[in-house]
């Protein structure tokens, strides 16, 4: 009976590893990040863990494959002999010759274990994870990532050897799943969807404009650094509010005329009136002037920032661009905000 219970446990663990593997591949990181922004505390923790795992996809898949391999070996080592042990007395009672009992019992045990492994341990969890990827990722991420953390040295070594083998054949390994399309592919899809009537004219034009800006850099959208409204690092609450009111901008760069220390929001000075602008300043992302608009939008969203400094080829700050301006270009609006 102990061997049967161990076999059931191995099947269950195998199913969980398979489900985790397909959940991390199929789930969308933006959906997990949306879930992480709401819900109860446990759900937020699980969503953040799942989103973090999707950024280490290569390691997660290596962990799943290791778990599946260990469970499969365990099933072969424990389950097949156990089933064979239970079947031999049955064949003896049926009068089967002693020479045939073991081969027949072994064949049936192998067939039964293979069937259970494929259906219960592989196909069923795979279908569930593909049908409900985010739900599967949330349910499995904490125990699965605990397993990968405990096996991290071994997984890193195996992953490194695998990546080395790929590079020898000219293949560049990736740590995240590629889900993007080239501008040409997207333009073809948009054009074909418009031709077939799947997009109305307004949607078609909007997507076409967005794709047109794909190839353009952000330099033409930036405000030159000489025209950017700034406050000195030593400025107090009164001066910050005065500059914000005069310029009409709520977000202000903190600069001493040379190096930019960061950015602050007008409300920061109200919430912490005893601190100077330099103390309130938060880091500002820096983007190359040739960076394309969609990439710049993604970078600002990833950094959870509204403003970015634009730097030239030599690394010098030449301007500032806002997320609103970038999105406005993609949506063909004329809205501008600081």
Check whether residue 29 and residue 143 sit in a common domain: yes
Is the residue at 196 inside a domain? no
What would the DSSP string read from start to end of 51-108? Answer: HHHHTTHHHHHHHHHHHHHHHHHHIIIIIHHHHHHHHHHHHHHTT--HHHHHHHHHHH
- Helices 133-150 and 152-168 cross at an angle (nearest 10°) of 100
Check whether residue 83 and residue 7 sit in a common domain: yes
The domain that holds 313 is classified in CATH as: 3.10.580.10
Check whether residue 12 and residue 161 sit in a common domain: yes
pLDDT at 182: 56
Check whether residue 116 and residue 265 sit in a common domain: no
pLDDT at 338: 41
pLDDT at 290: 82
pLDDT at 1: 66
pLDDT at 334: 37
Is the residue at 65 inside a domain? yes
Joined together, the tokens standing for residue 209 give 């404009």
Is the residue at 318 inside a domain? yes
Phi, psi (degrees; rounded to nearest 5) at 144: -70, -45
Is the residue at 99 inside a domain? yes
Check whether residue 138 and residue 238 sit in a common domain: no
pLDDT bucket at 270, cuts 50 / 70 / 90: confident
Instruction: Please give the Cα distance from 48 to 159 (Å, whole number).
Output: 24
pLDDT above 60 for 37: yes
Instruction: Please give the Cα distance from 108 to 329 (Å, whole number).
Output: 66
Structural domain count, the chain: 2
Check whether residue 220 and residue 300 sit in a common domain: yes
pLDDT at 336: 36
Containing structural domain, residue 143: 2-168
pLDDT above 70 for 215: no
Is the residue at 37 inside a domain? yes
How are strands ordered across the β-sheet holding 317-322? 223-224, 317-322, 307-311, 286-288
Check whether residue 223 and residue 290 sit in a common domain: yes
Check whether residue 145 and residue 11 sit in a common domain: yes
Is the residue at 299 inside a domain? yes
Is the residue at 153 inside a domain? yes
**How crowded is the C-beta side of 31, counted as CA atoms within 13 Å?**
12
Check whether residue 145 and residue 233 sit in a common domain: no
Q: For residue range 280-322, list pLDDT tens digits in order.
A: 888 888 888 888 777 788 888 888 888 888 888 888 888 888 8
pLDDT at 19: 92
Is the residue at 189 inside a domain? no
Check whether residue 106 and residue 251 sit in a common domain: no
Of 242, 222, 221, 219, whose CA–CA distance to 231 is shortest?
Answer: 242
Task: Tell me the C-alpha to C-alpha distance, in Å, between residue 113 and each of 43, 125, 239.
Answer: 36, 17, 76
pLDDT at 337: 36
Mean pLDDT of 313-334: 74
pLDDT bucket at 18, cuts 50 / 70 / 90: very high
Check whether residue 151 and residue 259 sit in a common domain: no
Check whether residue 22 and residue 162 sit in a common domain: yes
């Amino acid at each position: 009976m102990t061997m049967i219970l161990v076999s059931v446990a191995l099947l269950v663990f195998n199913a969980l590893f398979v489900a985790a593997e397909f959940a991390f591949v199929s789930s969308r990181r933006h959906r997990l990040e949306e879930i992480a922004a709401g819900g109860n505390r446990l759900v937020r923790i699980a969503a953040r863990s799942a989103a973090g795992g999707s950024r280490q996809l290569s390691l997660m898949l290596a962990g799943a494959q290791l778990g599946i391999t260990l469970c499969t070996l365990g099933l072969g080592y424990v389950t097949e002999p156990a089933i064979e042990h239970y079947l031999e007395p049955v064949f003896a009672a049926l009068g089967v010759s002693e020479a045939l009992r073991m081969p027949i019992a072994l064949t049936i045990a192998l067939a039964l274990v293979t069937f259970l492994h494929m259906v219960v341990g592989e196909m069923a969890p795979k279908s569930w994870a593909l049908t409900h990827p985010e739900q599967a990722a949330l349910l499995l991420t904490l125990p699965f990532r605990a397993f990968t953390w405990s096996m991290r040295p071994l997984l890193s070594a195996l992953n490194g050897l695998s990546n080395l083998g790929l590079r020898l054949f000219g293949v560049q390994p990736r740590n995240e799943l590629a889900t993007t399309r080239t501008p040409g592919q997207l333009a073809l899809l948009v054009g074909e969807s418009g031709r077939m009537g799947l997009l109305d004219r307004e949607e078609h034009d909007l997507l076409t404009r967005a794709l047109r800006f794909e190839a353009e850099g952000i330099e033409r959208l930036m405000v030159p650094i000489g025209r950017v409204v700034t406050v000195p690092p030593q400025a107090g609450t009164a001066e910050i509010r005065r500059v914000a009111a005069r310029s009409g901008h709520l977000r202000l760069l903190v600069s001493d005329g040379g190096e930019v220390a960061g950015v602050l929001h007008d409300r920061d000075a109200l919430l912490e009136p005893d601190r100077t602008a330099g103390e309130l300043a938060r880091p500002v992302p820096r983007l190359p002037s040739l960076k394309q608009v969609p990439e710049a939008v993604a970078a600002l969203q990833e950094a959870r920032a509204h403003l970015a400094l634009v730097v030239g080829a030599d690394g010098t700050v030449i301007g500032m661009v806002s997320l609103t301006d970038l999105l406005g270009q993609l949506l063909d609006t004329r809205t501008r905000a600081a």
